[in-house]
Amino acid sequence: MQNVFSKAISFIKENLSIVYSLFLIVLIPAAFFINNYLINTSYEKNIDQITQRKAVMVENIINNLIKNQIDATSTLQSAVDRIMKENSEIVSLSILKAESEQGGFEVVVSSDPGLIGQKQDQTVQNYFAWIQTEGIASPDKNEQGRFWKVTKLLSDSENRKIGLIEISFSLADSDALISKTISESNYILILTILIVVLLVANQARLLGNALTVTHLKEIDRMKDMFISMASHELRSPLTAIKGYLDLIKSEKNLALDNNTSHYLENISLSTQRLDDLVEDILVVSRIEGNRLPIEMTVFDPNPVVAQSIEEMRPQAMEKNLVLNYVPSKESVKISSDRDKLKQVIINLVSNSIKYTKKGSVSVSTAVKNKVFSITVADTGIGISSEDRANLFQKFYRVRNENTKGIIGTGLGLWITLEIIKRMQGKITVDSIEGVGSHFRVCLPIARK
């Protein structure tokens, strides 16, 4: 038993949010129910008081009508019959004549003919009504329902006590109204409870999702830490391998046959690919961890574009591609990161060279509507509309017969997009399969 209790305590400590949700499920409907009960009770009490005052008011009117006429029973009976006919809320109406000052009454007029002539002993209500001018009211109930029984002193014009007036005022209409109000309140209460339960259930689901997201974020953070650490650790052996390869290639006295030279070249290419992959992974880790440094400065972008193209010219010449550059005639300055802009241009030009088998890659810049644009156009294999929709997603690569032998990680365009967004710019692409692609980068011109 103690073990079960300990487990329950541990579960509550570990899942306070769930306990809180259950507490809300119980507390909020209970609060609504109590509030509903108090309002209905107060409403019923107020209705009863209004009905009671109404009965006393009717008795006061009747009292004024029959002063000095208590012996005119036929006239009074006609008046009582008329009152009963005109007022459906009055259950019974009787006029009692006092037999003596000490007590005892005789029913001289009544809405119930069977009561006429009957003697009544001094009851508690009759006693208090007899000794004070204010009417005495008390609730009562029979098979016909609830009603107020009001008894009031009847006096003559000289204020001598001559009898009592008894009137029973039905509460059927007010009870029906109260019952309807309570029913409607209960329907609203049930609906409110249902909504609250649904909201709490939804909150519990959202809370579960939030916990899952928190857990995933923690896993993602640990993954980023691992990737960053692993990438840095890979850098050292890669640097050493590249160094040894360069040393072997530069050794003039080392006689290498064709096969060995071919193997060394393949090793060098594979090492470079691995180094590029590690670099891309490091950049992705910095971007996702919001740790990518962006140093915004104001500068003329055309020299940066020209320098980037010159660095890519040997790669274009290896594939016998023409690499053109057409700078804008208008000289402007932009607010951006010089190194990151160079990285963006190299990524786009490298991508165009990679996917262009023959023809040319053209880079042009232009100024329009306070925007500096860089367009990289190629005569490559082109991109379908379906592939364009996913082109800038992480690790996405166009896969078809034309891209089988092309090596890549699918990170270059995603990194390019993220860098451009952080420099307050945007990138678009237009492409036709078999014709070529146009990538356009737009960056805002710096304010003067």
Cβ pair 428, 440 in contact under 8 A: yes
Q: Is residue 305 part of a domain?
A: yes
**Which of 169, 163, 172 minimizes the C-alpha distance to 93?**
169
pLDDT, tens digit, 9 for 90 and up, residues 294-330: 899 999 999 999 999 999 999 999 999 999 999 998 8
pLDDT at res. 40: 67
Are residues 114 and 29 part of one domain? Answer: yes
Which residue, 245, 272, 287, sits at the end of a domain?
287
DSSP state letter for 447: P
Are residues 28 and 161 part of one domain? Answer: yes
Q: Could you tell me the CATH number of the domain that includes residue 316?
A: 3.30.565.10
Strand-strand pairing, 334-336 and 297-299:
antiparallel
Mean pLDDT of 339-355: 92
**Tokens 């309002």, residue?**
39
Are residues 241 and 144 part of one domain? Answer: no
pLDDT, tens digit, 9 for 90 and up, residues 235-258: 778 788 888 788 877 776 666 777
Mean pLDDT of 271-294: 80
Are residues 390 and 300 part of one domain? Answer: yes
Are residues 109 and 57 part of one domain? Answer: yes
Are residues 165 and 19 part of one domain? Answer: yes
Q: Is residue 363 part of a domain?
A: yes
Determine which of 89-93, 325-329, 331-335, 439-443 has the lowest per-residue pLDDT on average.
89-93
State the total domains in the chain: 3
**Which of 392, 373, 372 minimizes the C-alpha distance to 383?**
392
Max CA pair span of the chain: 152
pLDDT at res. 375: 95
pLDDT band at 203, cuts 50/70/90? low
Which residue, 237, 253, 287, sits at the end of a domain?
287
Strand-strand pairing, 334-336 and 360-368:
unpaired
Q: Is residue 187 part of a domain?
A: no
pLDDT at 150 over 60: yes
Q: Which residues of 252-279 are buried (b: 16+ CB within 10 A; e: fewer)?
A: eeeeeeeeeeeeeeeebeebeeebbbbe
Are residues 403 and 323 part of one domain? Answer: yes
Are residues 436 and 312 part of one domain? Answer: yes
pLDDT at res. 423: 93
Q: Could you tell me the CATH number of the domain that includes residue 274?
A: 1.10.287.130
Are residues 282 and 299 part of one domain? Answer: no
When mean pLDDT is compared over 132-136, 353-357, 441-445, the highest value belongs to 441-445
Are residues 430 and 329 part of one domain? Answer: yes
- Percentage of the residues of the chain whose pLDDT score is greater than 70: 80
Are residues 313 and 274 part of one domain? Answer: no
Q: Is residue 229 part of a domain?
A: yes
Domain that holds residue 87: 13-170
Per-chain mean pLDDT for the chain: 79
Are residues 220 and 125 part of one domain? Answer: no
Which residue, 287, 315, 336, sits at the end of a domain?
287
Q: Could you tell me the CATH number of the domain that includes residue 96?
A: 3.30.450.20
